[in-house]
Amino acid sequence: MTSPDMNPADVSIMQTPGQQSPNGFKSAAAKAVSKAASPWLLPLIFGVGGLLIWEFGLWATNPERFLLPRPSEIISVLSEDDRGVDNTIFESIFEASRTTGFIILSSLVVGVILGVAAALITTRFRATNEVITPLAVAMNATPIVALAPIFNNWLGLTSPRSNQAVVVLIVFFPVFINTARGLNTVDPNQIELMQSLASKPWTIIRRVRIPSALPFFFTALKLVSSLCVVAAIVAEYFGGSQSSLGSKIITYAGFTQYDAAWAAVLAGSIIGIVLYALASVAERLAMPWAHRSWNSP
């Protein structure tokens, strides 16, 4: 029991070590919220600040609309009727985002699977490295504007497979090179220890090489999450569905609807940001120990 005239400081001193005052709980909760929000706070501030500079900078200079529309104009055009269809521009861009998003997501999955599989094969069978690596380098050196017409001729001008093939090739090379490097960046002592325990080669890959390759793999995954959006939209300039972001950008720009064209560009940017965020979340789930070590003082 405490006396009525005892001050709060004396009461806090009398608390047992396992107890915590309500203010302590509030402080811990505030720290947890601040720690969770800190990785996103600076990019959010930078993004909002960039939009404000964009908006008021163009408002002050008042350039021609075909040069660069203001963000407010891009947002307001979404509610207008789309030319030649019974939809608003927002509905048309949303449908185009679904079409392009399917191409991006399916190609990303296939490209990642092929890249990881090729890296595992070249690590397990060294002779295949001399065949696969030069071929991958040659494919990566070929520009998209050269690949897209060729695949359109092979797989069909309006078929989504031609665009998917372009994106798969763009995704394959970074995933293959980074994962292969990670699989081979292993402490030799760990390999010798596993071999001394009579471990099979695939067991060594699964228990030693793959954990070592995870940071390299997720670096490549975050890289291609943005590259695949660019590759898909550029490939759509040369063929594919007419209801896609690349086709919409060309159409709107052709009719001098530059604010609508920028709205379609914004939709592609949102897809890339979402994919990058998902790759970052997957990295934290797969490597929680690395995240703790990065944040440690």
3-state SS assignment for residue 134: helix
Q: What is the mean pLDDT of residues 150-175?
A: 89
Query: What is the rounded average pLDDT for all residues in the chain?
Result: 82
- Radius of gyration in angstroms for the set of CA atoms belonging to the chain, rounded to a whole number: 27
- Is residue 94 within 8 A of residue 88, CB to CB? The reply is no
Residue 81 backbone dihedrals phi, psi, to 5 degrees? -75, 140
> Is CATH 1.10.3720.10 what the domain over 73-78+85-287 is classified as, yes or no?
yes
pLDDT at residue 36 in the model: 54
Give bridge partners of residue 81 from the DSSP assignment.
88
Sequence-ordered list of residues with C-beta below 8 angstroms from that of 118, at least 6 positions apart, any chain: 132, 136, 172, 176, 180
pLDDT at residue 6 in the model: 52
CA angle centred on 243, ends 169 and 273, rounded to 5°: 55
Find the farthest-apart pair of alpha carbons in the chain and give their distance in angstroms, rounded: 90
**Reported pTM:** 0.79
Other beta carbons less than 10 A from residue 227's beta carbon: 18
Say how far apart CA 169 and CA 237 lie, in whole Å: 17
Residue type at position 222: K
pLDDT at residue 158 tops 70: yes
Indicate the pLDDT class of residue 11, thresholds 50, 70 and 90: very low
Of 35-49, 194-208, 250-264, give the lowest mean pLDDT range.
35-49
Percentage above 90 pLDDT, the chain: 35
Indicate the pLDDT class of residue 293, thresholds 50, 70 and 90: low
Other beta carbons less than 10 A from residue 98's beta carbon: 12
pLDDT at residue 1 tops 50: no
Say how far apart CA 244 and CA 93 lie, in whole Å: 8
Percentage above 70 pLDDT, the chain: 83
- Is residue 244 within 8 A of residue 96, CB to CB? The reply is yes
pLDDT at residue 291 in the model: 60
Place of tokens 């898909």: 232
Read off the pLDDT of residues 237-260 as tens digits, 9 standing for 90 and up. 888 888 899 999 999 988 888 899
3-state SS assignment for residue 88: strand
Other beta carbons less than 10 A from residue 274's beta carbon: 13
Q: What is the mean pLDDT of residues 72-87?
A: 84
Say how far apart CA 241 and CA 247 lie, in whole Å: 8
CA angle centred on 284, ends 120 and 208, rounded to 5°: 35
| Angle, helix 160-184 to helix 144-155, in steps of 10 degrees | 130
3-state SS assignment for residue 121: helix
Say how far apart CA 223 and CA 280 lie, in whole Å: 11
Where do the structural domains in the chain lie, given as residue ranges? 73-78+85-287
pLDDT at residue 19 tops 70: no
